[in-house]
Amino acid sequence: MEVLRHTNSLCPVCLKRITAVLEKDGGDVYLRKLCPDHGDFSCVLWRGKPDFEEWTSRRFPLSGPQDKPENACPESCGLCGEHKQKSCTVILEVTENCQLKCPVCFADAGSPREAGFDFLAGMLGDIRRKAPEAILQISGGEPTLRDDICDLVGLASELEYPGLQLNTNGLRLAEEPGFASCLKKAGLGWVFLQFDGLRESTHIALRGRSLRSAKEQAIRACEESGLGVVLVPTLVPGINDDEMGDIIRFALEKFPVVRGVHFQPISYFGRFPGPPADENRITLPEVMNGLVEQTGGMTKLSHFHPSRCEHERCSFRGVYLVEKPERITPVGSGACCFGSSTAEEGAKSAIESIRRRWGADVASVYPAKYSTNSAESEIEDAFERFIRIYERGSFSISAMAFQDAENLDLERLRFCCVHVASHDGRLVPFCAWNLTGRDGRTLHRCR
Ligand code: SF4
Ligand code: SF4
Ligand SMILES: [Zn+2]
C-alpha cells in the first residue's frame, strides 16, 4: 500500500472534519480515514486504467504541498473566500415534489415543499448578479410539476443567463402536448433527461416503474419543439453498467436532438440505509473502460480527458463529430478547456464549451440530419463533407462522479464549479449541499 497524497475528508458518522490519505493498492486507489470517535473508513476511488498518476496533471499534483482547507470547510460553504473555483453552473431547485420516489435520488425528493414564484424570481435575479457567467440549471424534485415552470424559464431567459437547462424525468414532456414548445418559447436551451437505460428492468430497479416509452416520447417532443437533450444515466453496478454502449448507440441514433450522454456513477446521498460496499460503486476509469468495451471500438481511452474547470478527479469527457450513428470522430483533446492555465480561464472555457455542445439551436440543424443519399455522398468532396458534419454540432460523452460522505475529498470540493443556490442566498458546492451522514443528517440541505 503506497500513500499518494494526504488530504481531508469527513467522518461519515459524525460529519466532523478528519484527515485522510489517498492510498494505492496495485492499480486501485482508496480514500482511507480515521475518526477518533467512530473508527476507520475506507472507500474505493479509482479502479484500473488510465493509471491514477497518469490522469493527474500538474494542476493537482500528487506530490508537493499538501492540501490545506480552512478549519471551517465545508461547514461554512456558501461560497467562502477560500473557495478555489467560480460558478460554472448554478442549480436552482424549484420544488421538492416529484412523481417518482427513486431510491437513487440525491435530492430526496417527494415532499410537497416548494417556494412561491416571487421568492424564486428574487433568487433568479440574485444568482444572475452573484454568478454572472454561470449556466442556470432549473432542478428539483421534478421542476415540471410546477404550473408556473414556463414563467420561471421565461424570467430566467429575460435575465439573459448564458445558458438555460432543465433537469427532468421527462414525464410531463412525454405526456402533455405543447409543453416542450412552451419551454422552448420561454427560452429554454436544453433538457437534462434522466435516462438510465433501455431495459425496462433498469427503470423498475432505479425508478420503480417502466419508463422506456415515456423517455422516447419526451425526446420526440423535444425534437419537435427544437429543444436539445442530454441523456443522464445514473450508473449502478449490476443494474445498468452493462448498458453504457447501448445508451450511446441509442443517443447517436437520435443525434442531433440528443447532443450527448452524461453518466453519473451512483453516489450515496440521502436515501441509502447502510454504508455502501466498494462493489456497489463504479469509478470513473471503470466507466471509461466500460464505454470502450461496449461501443465496439467507437470510443477509446485516449478520447477521454479531465476537465480544466472542476478538479480532474471529478469528471471526464470526450467530444465527437458525428457522420453516422456508427461513425464518430473525436474532436481535439475533448477536454472542455484543455490547456487553460488558471481556474478562471478553465471556468470560462467550460461555460463556453457547454453552451456550444449542449445549447446549440437544434432546430436549425435538423435539415442536416444523416445523409442517406449515397450518390450525393460520393460526389461530395472531403471539405464539404467536413463542413456538413461540423455544422451539425458535436456529440459529447461525459461523466461526473459526485462525492458522498464516504469518499469526500475536500481538495476536490474546494475546486467545485457546480453550485446549488440555497434559499438563504448562499451558493453551495453541489457535493457539500447533498452530503448526508449515515444517520441521514445533512450539513447544508434542509430536510
Ligand atoms: S468547499 Fe469551498 S465554499 Fe465550502 S467551505 Fe470549503 S472552501 Fe469554502
Ligand atoms: S459537484 Fe462534486 S463531483 Fe462535481 S465538480 Fe463539484 S465536487 Fe466535483
Ligand atoms: Zn466520527
**Mutate which of 8, 67, 77 to test ligand 1's pocket (most atoms within 8 Å of Cβ)?**
77
> CB under 6 Å to ligand 2: residues?
310-311, 314, 400-403, 412-413, 416-418, 429-431
Residue 258 placed within a domain = yes
Residue 239 lies in domain: 89-400
What's the gap in Å between 38 CA and the centre of ligand 3? 5
Residue 406 placed within a domain = no
pLDDT digits (tens, 9 = 90+) for 32-70: 999 999 999 999 999 999 999 999 988 888 987 788 888
pLDDT at residue 380 tops 70? no
CATH of the domain at 170: 3.20.20.70
Q: Does ligand 1 have an atom closer than 6 angstroms to the CB of 83?
A: yes
Residue 41 placed within a domain = no
- In the chain, how many domains are there? 1
Nearest ligand for residue 17 CA: 3
Q: Does ligand 1 have an atom closer than 6 angstroms to the CB of 414?
A: yes
Largest interatomic CA distance in the chain: 73
Residue 368 placed within a domain = yes
Nearest CA to ligand 1 atom 8: 80
Q: Does ligand 1 have an atom closer than 6 angstroms to the CB of 444?
A: no
The whole-number pLDDT of residue 71 equals 84
The whole-number pLDDT of residue 335 equals 44
> What would the mean pLDDT of 253-267 be, rounded to a whole number?
96
Q: Does ligand 1 have an atom closer than 6 angstroms to the CB of 346?
A: no
Instruction: Annotate the chain with three-state secondary structure.
Output: CEEEEEEEEECCCCCCEEEEEEEEECCEEEEEEEECCCEEEEEEEEECCCCHHHHCCCCCCCCCCCCCCCCCCCCCCCCCCCCCCCCCEEEEECCCCCCCCCCCCCCCCCCCCCCCHHHHHHHHHHHHHHCCCCEEEEECCCHHHCCCHHHHHHHHHHCCCCCEEEEECCHHHHHCCCHHHHHHHHCCCEEEEECCCCCHHHHHHHHCCCCHHHHHHHHHHHHHHCCEEEEECEECCCCCCCCHHHHHHHHHHCCCCEEEEEEEECCCCCCCCCCCCHHHCCCHHHHHHHHHHHCCCCCCHHHCECCCCCCCCCEEEEEEEEEECCEEEECCCCCCCCCCCCHHHHHHHHHHHHHHHHCCCHHHHHHHCCCCCHHHHHHCCHHHHHHHHHHCCEEEEEEECCCCCCCCCHHHHCCCCEEEECCCCCEEEHHHHCCECCCCCECCCCC
- The atom number, within ligand 1, closest to the CA of 75 reads 5
Residue 409 placed within a domain = no
The whole-number pLDDT of residue 338 equals 41
Q: Do 14 and 20 form a contact (C-beta atoms < 8 A)? A: no
pLDDT digits (tens, 9 = 90+) for 82-120: 999 999 999 999 999 988 877 766 555 556 778 999 999
Residue 139 has phi, psi (to 5 degrees) of -140, -170
The whole-number pLDDT of residue 413 equals 97
Question: Which of 19-28, 111-120, 409-418 comes out lowest in average pLDDT?
Answer: 111-120
Q: Does ligand 1 have an atom closer than 6 angstroms to the CB of 344?
A: no
The whole-number pLDDT of residue 228 equals 96
Nearest ligand for residue 426 CA: 1
> What would the mean pLDDT of 371-388 be, rounded to a whole number?
60
CA atoms within 13 A on the CB side of 362: 27
Residue 123 placed within a domain = yes
**Mutate which of 17, 71, 82, 310 to test ligand 1's pocket (most atoms within 8 Å of Cβ)?**
82
Residue 382 placed within a domain = yes
Question: Which of 78-87, 373-382, 423-432 comes out lowest in average pLDDT?
Answer: 373-382
Supply the mean pLDDT for the chain: 89
Residue 423 placed within a domain = no
Question: Which of 165-169, 274-278, 420-424 comes out lowest in average pLDDT?
Answer: 274-278
